[in-house]
Structure formats: C-alpha cells, structure tokens
Amino acid sequence: MEYAKSKTIFGNKNGVSQFMQRQLVAVYDDNFTEEEIVSLSIVQTLAAITAKIKREVAVYLNRQGQVVLVAIGDCRNVSLPDLGRRRGEYRLSGIRCIHTHPSGNGALSQMDLSALAQLQLDAMVAVGVDGDGSVTNMGLAWGGGKTGETGKPKEKEILLYNSWETFAAVDFRKEIAEIEKSQGNVAGHRTESVRERAILVAVQTATEAEATYSYSIAELEELAKTAGVDVIGLVRQRCRHAVAATYVGRGKLEEIKQTLQNNPAEVVIFNDDLSPVQQRNLEAILDCKIIDRSSLILDIFAQRAQSNEGKIQVELAQLKYALPRLQGQGLALSRLGGGIGTRGPGETKLEVDKRAIQRKIRDLESRLQEIVKTRTLHRQRRNKQNIPLVALVGYTNVGKSSLLNLLTGSQVMAENQLFATLDTTTRQFLLPGGGECLLTDTVGFIRKLPHHLIAAFRATLEESLDADLLLHVVDGSSVDAEGQAEVVLRLLKELGVADKKILTVINKIDLLPTEQGLSRLLTLFPDSVGISALEKRGIGDLLAKIEGILSRQKVSFSLCIPFQAGNLLDEIHRCGTVTHLAYTAEGTEVMGTMEKADWQKICSRLEMESKKEVGQEDDTEIL
C-alpha cells in the first residue's frame, strides 16, 4: 500500500502543527493483534489530537493489523479516499476505518454509513471525543454480509459501546469470517447487470426562464435514462452566470460531495457544456467521472448508430469533442521548437495522441465528403425523375419515424425514447391524386445540441436543403410544444433551410385531454394539421395538404427558346418535366412543368440572353 510506505498524512493539514503531524505519522508504527478492531493506543492518540485541533481524524487499518492511511478532516467530516482494494462487486475491501467525532457523540452518521457501503469497508468505527480528549462512546457498523443486499446496515447492526472493555471484547477476525461466509451466498444469487448511477447538476443563469430551465432538467434526466444510467440525485443552483473554473460555486461543490457520500454514484452529469478546464477541475475535486450534456448525447448517438455513415458521423463528433480535452502539461510538453532544452526525449505521448486524433479526424472528414458526393448524385438522379421530396424534421421523440412507417408502409424502428433512430431513411408513397412522392426521415433535434454533432450530421441534414416541402412534426401532448418548435426552427435557420415551405404537423393529438387543446395548438401554429400517427387520425387531411402545397409550387410553361440560348434546354430538362418539344424557324418550342422557383430562374436567364442578343445587333448597326 503506497500510503503506508510513504507514511504521509492525507487530507487538510493546514493549521496543524508539525508536532501534531509527527504524532499522527507515529500511528503508522502502531501494532495490534488480528483479533482487535483497533488498539487502545491508536484510539487514545486520535482522541488527544482531535481535542487539540478540533477536527476529525481517521485511520485505515488492514486485516494484518497495520495502519495503511492517516487522514485529517475538518470540524464536520473527513474525506475518506477509496484505496481501490475491492476484490469483487460483493466482496469487502479488507480495510476498516476508525475516525473521531469532536462533538463527543460516537453514534454513526448517515454519511459514515454511506462511506461504509460505497468504499466496501470491513467496518466503520466512530469515536466520540470530549473537549478534554476523553472518549465518551464508540459507534460500530459492519460492512458486507451484515448489510444485506441494499448496501446499508440494518438498524440492529449499528452498535454503540459506552466502554472500551465491551468494545475491545469484539472478535474482529470471527466477525469478518462470518461476513465473508454470507457473502458467498449473496454473490451467487446476484447475476443481473448493474447500471451506472448518476447525480445531475444544473445551473439556472439570469437569462434563462424558469420554464425553460425545468424542461431542460427533465430532458437531461430522460437523456440519462436513455443512455442506461439510473438518476439518484439532482443538485440545482441559481446564479447570474456559471463559475469559470468549476461551473458551480464552492458551496454547491460541497453539497455535491455530500450528495455523493450519502448517495454513492459513479458519474456526475452536468446540464451544460463544460470547458476542458472545468471538467479537469471537477474530476480532481469530486474524484469521480464527470460528463456534460454534449458528452451524454454523443454517448447515446454512439449506442444508436447502425449504418456505416452514422458511425462515421458519431466518431467524428466524438473525436472533435475529445481533442481539446486531452490532459497533459500544456505548452511545456512541446519538443518541436529546437534549441536548448528541447533536445532529448522527442515528442511526448500527448503530442502523439493529438496528432493521431487529428489524422483520424481528417480521414473521417474525407470519408464523409465521399458520402456527400454520393448523396449529391442520388439527389440529381431523383431530380431527373422529377419526383417531389418531402423531409420530416422536428424535435426528438415527436413521432417522425412512426409517421414515416404509416405513410410508406416501412418498418423503421420507432420507440418512445429520445434519439431512437439516427440514420436517414427515404421511402416512396402515393398522394391522393395518384402522384408519387419521396419521404425522408432526418435525425431529431434537441436543446443544446452539440455543435460537433450538427457539423458531423450536416451531410444527413442537407437532405432538407433539397426538399420541396418540410413536414415539421410537433408533439402536441408536450407541455413545451412551443419551446420545442422554436428550437427546431432556430436550427433549421442555422442550416439555411428556414426559407423552405414548412407544413406543421401536430402529432399525438390522441393524448390531448380536450378538443380545446387541439384548437389552441392549431391557432398557435398557423398552416398546420393535427394527426395521430398511432391511431391513424387526420392522415387524409395531411395528405391532401401535402398534395395541395406541392401542386401550387409547380407551374406549366410554354415558350420558344432562340437557337442562340440553346444552353437553356439542358437547364429546363434538369429542373422540370418536358411534355412537348419541337423545332421551328424561330427556335425550339418547349412545353412542360417545373417548380415555381426554377421557372423564375429560367425566365431571368432567358431575359439576359435576349438583352445580349439586342446588344449584339446594336453593335452591328454602329459598325
């Protein structure tokens, strides 16, 4: 054990004299029998020092009768490090903790019992110390088999001794043997997988509304569940802005530490993006895994990505997120400058890792660019067939995939959970008038969507750029339907598709308690239609609206293109459907249909060609 070898004092030594520290270091040399929980000399030393410094003091003892760690806390508690000596999920660590209570009460606190379970200690002992250094009583709780499967001691197993004689009579080796015998039975019956436990942390700044803050926390909890994490606690803070170094203030950090001790958790999840510095500081202070909202969403995407394209996009986003978070000694690690002080070891591990990640990012971006080219060719092929394209957009878990399955007869996975599907799917369906149409499902949006993800999935989302119509699906049953819609429209604007024709589809109307609720939503979202993809309600109205919008976007044309502007024929064939083509003495007669926007472009081109022709004739007359 490294602590025992170094004989150092762990914890807060500020204000403790060198003399007191030497007395504590001497505790490392104390010996006692394997039957004793602790020797009387150690208890007396800890009590005397506690009375003088008015702080808690703790020691870790192993089963060979050796002191492996000595720690100093404050007047309320002492931080107990995890020595990492677990021999299995249901086995004890082989370490017991003896610590003092300056209050004079040796009864074990809830924090003591939580530490006993979290660190899988053999036993936890609390020594009540009076102001004069005398021991009042001693609390004792055993770990492992005496706690049952809940991980917390039963009330009858939390003991309190009022005299040293009765406490010293306890046979430690016998008790541990009984515990480990019972542990064999417990471990044999617990075969299910254990989910990670998480504590959520959210800060409400001065610019964030109360409702938005509440919805964001609810989403974070749902994201954690989707990622396979059990949420066991929530810490909130209201402040003008997040703290630059640690995201939350000093007081909240202490609250999080106590929450972790009372409710042992493997991970702390923060509701906003953390800077690399904040993440490193929090990991050092809280001594557990720290992830932010972006990291959580990236983890969900990594679990759900099925296609090769989806996996490339997620990996690219993860690498871009991880690159600035590689830990090292900053600029001092660079050995590339040359000159004195830079020769010798060559590149460091950090620099090698960074360049490896950068190489991988370039490779993935190159592969993604090939996918973009392929998608562009597919879009051009669809344009030649002149089949209109409709894209489904919306917040995550609003029912886009369910609507796709209903309209096209597909079997795309549709689950009631966030980001159930990531991969873009395009299917064909028929409009009421018999016309064909393509329907594309895109990845769902969410508040505070990581910008790395938006960049990586831009190739997928660009399907919306070429769509003739966007179906903005809104969850009508959500209390935050308007807020979710605003998030989607804002992200569409960032992607440059906000000027597209958008039809709002209010889904899940079967979950609305009254008809007035639907009327309110139809008023709130002009040019909208209410449906239930689950109960197949309102689908006829939706298809009629889609057909009406697409038909209004097309114009019939008949024109004669001069032979000098013959290059426009290729443009007309590419953008529209030609139903008649004939060659005359004046030029080429063309009839057909095309999109209104494309028709306006053709008219502008034709006008420019006409002006050029007139200009050439004028020049001839002058000459």
What confidence tens digit (pLDDT) does each residue in 228-255 have?
888 888 999 888 888 888 989 888 888 8
Pick the more confident residue, 494 or 552: 494
Per-residue pLDDT of 82-98, as tens digits, reads 555 444 455 678 888 99
Give me the architecture of the 554-622 domain, per CATH.
2-Layer Sandwich (3.30)
Q: What pLDDT, in 10s, does the model give residues 7-21?
A: 788 877 878 888 888
What does 309-374 look like in DSSP terms, one character per residue?
HHHHHHHHHHHHHHGGG--S-GGGG---S-STTS-SS-S-HHHHHHHHHHHHHHHHHHHHHHHHHH
Please give the C-alpha separations between residue 81 and each of 68, 85, 116, 256, 281, in angstroms, as whole numbers.
12, 11, 12, 16, 17
Q: What's the average model confidence in pLDDT over 578-592?
A: 82
- Comparing 614 with 29, the larger pLDDT belongs to 29
Inter-CA distances, 506 with 154, 360, 415, 424, 503, Å: 53, 42, 18, 21, 10
Tell me the pLDDT band of 185, cut-offs 50, 70 and 90.
very low
Reply yes or no on whether the pLDDT at 127 is more than 90: yes
Quick one: which of 289, 233, 293 has its CA closest to 266?
A: 289
Percent of the chain with pLDDT over 90: 9
Q: Tell which wins on pLDDT, 344 or 240.
A: 240
Average pLDDT in the chain: 78
pLDDT at 111: 77
pLDDT value, residue 339: 39
Q: Determine the pLDDT at residue 145.
A: 47
Indicate the pLDDT class of residue 128, thresholds 50, 70 and 90.
Answer: very high
Task: Classify residue 344 as left (phi > 0), alpha (psi -120 to 50) or beta.
Answer: left
- pTM reported for the whole predicted model: 0.59
| Stretch 148-170: mean pLDDT | 73
pLDDT tens readout for residues 599-611: 777 787 777 776 6
> Residue 338 has what pLDDT?
40
Which residues, in sequence order, are CB contacts of 166 under 8 Å at separation 6+?
Answer: none
Of 433, 429, 386, 440, nearest to 406 by C-alpha is 429
Other beta carbons within 10 angstroms of residue 261's beta carbon come to: 20
Average pLDDT over residues 501-530: 87
Instruction: Give first-to-last CA distance, the chain, whole Å.
Output: 102
Q: How far apart are CA 464 and CA 468, in angstroms?
A: 8
Pairing mode of beta strands 57-62, 576-583? unpaired
For residue 440, report the phi and psi dihedrals to the nearest 5 degrees.
Answer: -115, 130
**Residue-wise pLDDT tens digits, 274-316:** 888 898 888 888 878 888 888 888 888 877 777 777 788 788 8
Strand 267-270 to 196-204 pairing: parallel
Least confident of 146-150, 165-169, 172-176, 533-537: 146-150
The CATH class, in words, for 385-552 is alpha beta
Q: Residue 415: what pLDDT?
A: 67
Q: According to the model, what pLDDT value does residue 431 have?
A: 85
Same fold for the pair 385-552 and 554-622: no
Q: Quick one: pLDDT at residue 323?
A: 81
DSSP code of 541? H
Q: What is the DSSP code (8-state) at residue 398?
A: S
- The topology (CATH level 3) of 196-291 is Rossmann fold (3.40.50)
pLDDT of 414 reads 67
Lowest mean pLDDT among 376-385, 461-470, 533-542, 543-552: 376-385
pLDDT value at residue 442: 78
CB 401 within 8 A of CB 421: yes
Please report, for the chain, the start and end positions of each structural domain, with discontinuous segments joined by +.
2-189, 196-291, 385-552, 554-622
- Over the stretch 351-360, which tens digit does the pLDDT of each residue have? 777 788 888 8
Q: What is the mean pLDDT of residues 478-482?
A: 86
Give the per-residue pLDDT at 86.
45
**% of residues, the chain, pLDDT over 70:** 79
Concatenate the DSSP letters of all residues of 297-320 into one string. Answer: HHHHHHHH--SHHHHHHHHHHHHH
Residue 207 pLDDT > 90:
no
114 versus 57: which is more confidently predicted?
A: 57
| Average of per-residue pLDDT across 129-141 | 91
Of 210-219, 372-381, 431-440, the range with the lowest mean pLDDT is: 372-381
Instruction: Name which of 35-49, 80-94, 307-321, 354-368 the model is least confident about.
Output: 80-94
